[in-house]
Amino acid sequence: MLAGLTGAALCAGSIIAVDAQQPLRGPLNVCHAGSLLAAFTQVEQEFAKQHPDVTIADTSGGSVDLGRRFAAGTLACDVYAPADHLDIDVLLKPARLADYTIVFARGRMVLAYMANDPKAATLPVSGAFNPPGPVPSVASGWQQTLTAGGVKISGAHPFLDPGGYRAHMIFELAQQHLKVPGLYNALLQHYQVTPADPVGAAPVLGKDFNFQFTYEHSAAAAAKREPQYRYAALPTEIDLSGADGRQYTATVSIPGLGTPSSRATVDIPATAVEWGLTVPLNSANREAAIAFVSAELGPSGRAALASNGPAPITPARVSRADSGRVPAALKSLVVAAR
């Protein structure tokens, strides 16, 4: 706790130094993946204390959905932080809405279920469940449980959210890894889309569906709230962790932004689970946005990620092509990838 407070104080001090020259004010629209909600809320609260004249409007949700709404002009975004950094590269950059991508956090996908769900009782796993310490791994034959009669796998729509299209990538990678012909299709037949804006109560794991591929830090948070919640590690060949520099051979195609300047369809290759952020070119409060990103990449932001997930990448990275376009105030907080 002391280290986190000290980091926050250091970051706050750097912000105050900037404020002494030019105070920040006005609305700041922060648009981010739902999987970043806890970490970003913490940073936003600290930022608001340091900048009382800045009014933060926080919008979280499916990263692709947010990008489309932003491109269409129905959602203002001064900061855009998707769950897949490639959403900036393949959606916003071609539409000339952004010109750099900062990759600042990482994670992996796990398989979530409820311990008291009869349909999950046959899932073969090895190891004890003791988060934030060890968690079990799926064992041989796990795919048979997920493709058994009546089993439902739920997740976001792949056209709206990286969590959704990453589940489909896992289906494809599982077929390659296990060498089971037709496994992709068999898993897809059990996949149901969780409504982004459900009418009434949202579907419940263990009641309305049986399994979910989700981010590990999200699963760990759910396990703290619900004693029956469980999750298991997937093989590194399919968990999108990028372990040992692993490369993945899977691609999803999704509709573009739906604007005249954007592509009708974009291909997103499977890569390690990494979150990205940028300040769009048309940000209406660019100085405040850059200051917020500086806080997110600095000590207090890294502490918020370490406490809530996903895991911070320190230092954050940019591509060599993007490094020259990163604002001067952020250059010391990023490193150009090799």
pLDDT digits (tens, 9 = 90+) for 39-70: 999 999 999 999 999 999 999 999 999 999 99
Task: Give yes or no for residue 212 having a pLDDT over 70.
Answer: yes
Confidence class for position 21, pLDDT limits 50, 70, 90: low
**What superfamily in CATH does domain 2-106+272-336 come from?**
Periplasmic binding protein-like II (3.40.190.10)
Q: Is the backbone peptide bond immediately before 315 cis, with ω within 30 degrees of 0?
A: yes
Beta-carbon contacts of 176 under 8 Å, excluding residues fewer than 6 positions away, are: 237, 249, 250
Q: What percent of the chain has pLDDT over 70?
A: 93
Mean confidence (pLDDT) of the chain: 93
Are residues 301 and 81 in contact, defined by beta-carbon separation less than 8 angstroms?
A: no
Instruction: Give the type of residue at 73.
Output: G
How high is the pLDDT of residue 201?
87
The SS3 of residue 233 is: strand
Count Cβ neighbours within 10 Å for each residue of 39-54 and write b for 16 or more, e otherwise: bbbbbbebbeebbeeb
How high is the pLDDT of residue 200?
80
How high is the pLDDT of residue 303?
98
Q: Is the C-alpha dihedral spanning 281, 282, 286, 292 positive or negative?
A: negative
Mean pLDDT of 17-21: 45
In the structure encoding, which two tokens stand for residue 79, read together?
């900061």
- The topology (CATH level 3) of 109-240 is D-Maltodextrin-Binding Protein; domain 2 (3.40.190)
What strands lie across the sheet with 79-81, from one edge to the other?
Answer: 54-61, 26-33, 79-81
In the structure encoding, which two tokens stand for residue 141, read together?
């034959």
Paired with 29 in beta bridges are 57
Per-residue pLDDT tens for 98-129?
999 999 999 999 999 999 999 999 999 999 99
Task: Give yes or no for residue 13 having a pLDDT over 70.
Answer: no
How high is the pLDDT of residue 2?
32
Beta-carbon contacts of 98 under 8 Å, excluding residues fewer than 6 positions away, are: 80, 88, 92, 278, 279, 280, 281
In the structure encoding, which two tokens stand for residue 76, read together?
């203002």
How high is the pLDDT of residue 198?
77
Per-residue pLDDT tens for 143-199?
999 999 999 999 999 999 999 999 999 999 999 999 999 999 999 999 999 988 877
Task: Give yes or no for residue 17 having a pLDDT over 80.
Answer: no
pTM of the model as a whole: 0.92
Query: Where in the sequence of the chain do the CATH 3.40.190.10 domains occur?
Result: 2-106+272-336, 109-240
Q: Which helix (H) or strand (E) holds 167?
A: helix 162-178
The SS3 of residue 273 is: coil
